[in-house]
């Protein structure tokens, strides 16, 4: 839970900064690229090897199919709320991000139940991801006319979903039989990959890309790769 507190604090801190001084498009793009590289590396280097070790094809297929279906549904809902505009759009964004943070917490709990090393690596990736989510929430609420105090309060409320998910992941979900456990792991992996491809990078490319921004994606990936190598890699 001490590790869980790091991304929670980062998310709240990001909302405080964004509420006082909204980040420019270039800064947000760089944060999104770095977070995408970190999250993509964590999913491919840490979670996928776990799925292979579980040797559960049925659980993997079920988790992937369910994960894709749920994430596509959430994507459609996000588009619907954005089209609505105003306060309704802000409420929709907050609800969807809260669900995403809950899933992140479950993955952290599952990762720590497997190996402390995996949990620490995932914490690094999710810290940057939640910094981006904090900026997203702040931007959506400010567009809807929310006060700075409400922006920070709502972001803090969303961040609480992370420890809730972590408790689920390290408790009842970690003790599941092989097939259901593989399904949970596959579902979480899909959620992270969807976040990278359809959220982080998609939004980052809404502004004109630069060589620096693109390079930061690979810098984030390299960072996780080096950490994984220095700690012995997946076991």
pLDDT above 90: residue 12:
no
The predicted-structure confidence for 66-76, as pLDDT tens digits, reads as follows 999 998 888 88
Give the three-state DSSP class for 142. helix
**Is position 6 within any domain?**
no
- Give the pLDDT mean for 132-161: 80
Residue 200 CB partners (closer than 8 Å, separation 6+): 32, 33, 35, 36, 39, 129, 132
Q: Give the chain's domain count.
A: 1
The predicted-structure confidence for 167-188, as pLDDT tens digits, reads as follows 988 888 878 898 998 898 899 8
Question: How far apart are alpha carbons 59 and 45 in whole angstroms?
Answer: 19
- Give the pLDDT mean for 209-232: 87
Bigger pLDDT: 226 vs 75: 226
CB 157 within 8 A of CB 8: no
**Is position 21 within any domain?**
no
**Is position 14 within any domain?**
no
**Is position 11 within any domain?**
no
Q: What is the mean pLDDT of the chain?
A: 83
**Is position 5 within any domain?**
no
Range of the domain at 107: 26-230
pTM over 0.75: yes
**Is position 16 within any domain?**
no
Tokens (6 digits) for 14: 């990001």
Question: How far apart are alpha carbons 226 and 161 in whole angstroms?
Answer: 30
**Is position 129 within any domain?**
yes
Longest dimension (CA), the chain: 50
Q: What is the DSSP string of 17-80?
A: HHHHSPPPHHHHHHHHHHHHHHHHHHIIIIIHHHHHHHT-HHHHHHHHHHHHHHHHHHHHHHHH
Q: So what's the pLDDT on residue 87? A: 66
Q: So what's the pLDDT on residue 235? A: 57
**Is position 20 within any domain?**
no
Q: So what's the pLDDT on residue 58? A: 93
Question: How far apart are alpha carbons 63 and 107 in whole angstroms?
Answer: 13
- Percent of the chain whose pLDDT exceeds 90: 13
């Amino acid at each position: 839970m001490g590790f869980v507190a790091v991304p929670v604090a980062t998310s709240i801190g990001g909302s405080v900064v964004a509420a006082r001084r909204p980040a420019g498009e270039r800064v947000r793009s760089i944060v999104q690229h770095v977070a995408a590289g970190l999250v993509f590396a964590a999913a491919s280097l840490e979670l996928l090897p776990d799925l292979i070790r579980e040797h559960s094809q049925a659980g993997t297929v079920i988790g992937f199919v369910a994960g894709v279906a749920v994430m596509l549904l959430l994507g459609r809902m996000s588009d619907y709320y954005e089209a609505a505009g105003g306060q309704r759009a802000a409420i929709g964004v907050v609800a969807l991000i809260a669900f995403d943070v809950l899933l992140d917490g479950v993955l952290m709990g599952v990762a720590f139940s497997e190996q402390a090393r995996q949990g620490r690596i995932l914490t690094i990736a999710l810290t940057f991801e939640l910094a981006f989510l904090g900026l997203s929430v702040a931007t959506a609420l400010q567009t809807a006319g929310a006060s700075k105090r409400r922006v920070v309060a709502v972001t803090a409320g969303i961040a609480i979903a992370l420890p809730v998910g972590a408790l689920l992941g390290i408790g009842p979900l970690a003790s599941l039989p092989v097939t259901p456990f593989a399904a949970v792991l596959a579902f979480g992996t899909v959620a992270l990959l969807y976040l990278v491809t359809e959220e982080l990078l998609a939004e980052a490319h809404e502004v004109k890309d630069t060589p620096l921004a693109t390079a930061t994606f690979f810098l984030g990936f390299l960072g996780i790769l080096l950490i994984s190598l220095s700690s012995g890699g997946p076991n």
